[in-house]
Amino acid sequence: MLRSSRYIVALMVVAIVAAVAPIGSSDASAGIASLYRTGDWRSEKHVPVIDCPVEFKAGEPTTVTVTIGKETEHPNTAAHHIRWIRLYFIPADSTLPYEVASFEFSAHGESVLGTDTSTLYTDPKVSIDVRTGVPGVFYAAAYCNIHGLWESAKAITIAE
């Protein structure tokens, strides 16, 4: 009797949890784009900041820098860090993106001795030279191991 009572209670708990908590925390039909967040980089340290001229000279190398935590530094520890930054470009006459660059950050204070045992850190700031002859939009994406996916965008033109 006691055993069947426990079984019924367990079933009731499962039913209550299933009714209150949906499986997963997001709507799968919304797609991965719905998981990206953005905001004002001056107050939200996760938002990638894309620094480059708004006007490129056709075919000339132009430096594009992407920074996470430009105004307020983001933590960089084994427990909380930026894992990667990716940069895309969509020409104005297209709807399909080019992947411009992808950066992985692999040092967050850990070593073979364990977490927070080294003095080596890869800060989430990258610069690359890009050449293009068409206007378009750069999109930066980044991933924080605690706070998820973040994005920003910056349009550029080509000098006449």
Going from the C-alpha of 27 to that of each of 22, 33, 35, 75, 104, the distances in angstroms are 10, 11, 10, 29, 28
Q: Does 83 bind Fe ion (CB under 5 A)?
A: no
Which member of 146, 153, 155, 157 binds Fe ion (CB under 5 A)? 146
| 151 assigned to active site | no
Strand pairing category for 148-158 and 136-144: antiparallel
Q: Is 81 a catalytic residue?
A: no
Q: H helices within 67-113, ranges in order?
A: none
Span from 34-42, 103-111, 128-136, 145-153 in contact with Fe ion (CB under 5 A): 145-153
Phi then psi dihedrals of residue 146, to 5 deg: -105, -40
Q: Is 144 in the active site?
A: yes
Q: Which is nearer to Fe ion, 59 or 148 (CB)?
A: 148
Is position 45 annotated as part of the catalytic site?
yes
User: Strands of 136-144's sheet, edge to edge?
Assistant: 55-56, 148-158, 136-144, 82-91, 98-104
Is 108 labeled as catalytic in the residue annotation? no
- Nearer of residues 69 and 136 to Fe ion, judged by Cβ: 69
Contact between 154 and Fe ion per CB under 5 A: no
Instruction: Report the residue number, 27 or 40, with the smaller CB distance to Fe ion.
Output: 40
Selection from 92, 83, 98 nearest residue 147 by Cα? 83
155 CB-side CA count, 13 A: 3
Q: Does position 147 bind Fe ion by CB under 5 A?
A: yes
Beta-bridge mates of residue 138: 89, 154
Q: How many residues does the chain have?
A: 160
Letters for 95-134 (x = contact with Fe ion by CB under 5 A, - = none) are ----------------------------------------
Q: Which of 70, 74, 81, 108 is catalytic?
A: 74
Which residue number, 87 or 144, has a Cβ lying nearer to Fe ion?
144
Q: What are the catalytic residues?
A: 44-46, 74, 80, 144, 147
**Interacting residues with Fe ion (CB under 5 A):** 144, 146-147
